[in-house]
């Protein structure tokens, strides 16, 4: 998404600073670190309280590269360190819910762009409109060559979508 629509990339999974007053933003990692560490595996996660952090937030691109990796990690739920207690413990479908929440905040035009990008993962059809987004599925209107405006549900599987 960062190549096709960089402005949208900067609206999804934006890391936050620990106390909103310092420029110590979270850094995407394979697992969420302890309270004092900056690493987070949660979409939009926070920086650590005593870690060095980074001066600007990270976005969906870094979340995908550092946290989701090949799509088999941290989806739909993040992971956290067992020892020392993670600053934000994993909760059921936390990453799926966070990504879905960010997508619902996009403008209609941006949702259309995301639908087009999603269409690349849906073989044999063209996504016309995103109708609804939840933590585990996306409802879209699409044309499959035979039916125009057909509404279908797609289950989000890592970085892929499958029609259900």
Q: Where are the domains positioned within the chain?
A: 1-105, 107-163
- Encode the chain in three state secondary structure: CCCCCHHHHCCCCCCEECCCCCCCECEECCCECECCCCEECCCCCECCCCCCCECCCCCHHHHHHHHHCCCCCCCCCCCECCCCCECCCCCCCHHHHHHHHHHHCCCHHHHHHHHHHHHCCCCCCEEEEEEEECCCEEEEEEECCCCCCEEEEEEEECCEEEEC
pLDDT single digits (tens) 3-61: 567 789 899 999 988 776 667 888 999 998 887 788 899 999 988 777 667 889 999 99
Per-residue pLDDT tens over the stretch 85-136: 556 678 888 888 898 889 888 888 888 777 767 655 555 555 556 666 665 5
Whether 154 shows a pLDDT value over 50: the answer reads no
Distance CA 164, CA 155 (A): 6
Q: What is the pLDDT of residue 57?
A: 92
Of residues 80 and 53, the one with the higher pLDDT is 80
Kindly report the pTM of this predicted structure.
0.70
The pLDDT value recorded for residue 42 is 93
Sign of the CA dihedral running 14, 17, 22, 25: negative
* CB of 28 closer than 8 Å to CB of 66: yes
């Amino acid at each position: 998404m960062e190549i096709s629509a960089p402005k949208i990339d900067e609206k999804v999974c934006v890391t936050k600073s620990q106390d909103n007053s310092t420029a110590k933003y979270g850094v995407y990692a394979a697992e969420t670190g302890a309270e004092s560490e900056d690493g987070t595996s949660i979409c939009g996660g926070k920086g650590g309280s005593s870690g060095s952090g980074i001066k600007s937030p990270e976005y969906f691109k870094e979340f995908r590269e550092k946290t989701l990796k090949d799509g088999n990690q941290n989806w739909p739920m993040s992971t956290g360190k067992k020892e020392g207690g993670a600053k934000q413990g994993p909760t059921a479908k936390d990453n799926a819910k966070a990504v879905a929440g960010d997508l619902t905040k996009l403008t209609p035009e941006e949702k259309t762009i995301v639908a087009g990008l999603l269409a690349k993962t849906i073989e044999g059809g063209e996504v016309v409109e995103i109708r609804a987004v939840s933590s585990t599925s996306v409802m879209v209107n699409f044309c499959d060559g035979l039916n125009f405006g057909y509404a279908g549900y797609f289950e989000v599987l890592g970085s892929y979508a499958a029609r259900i």
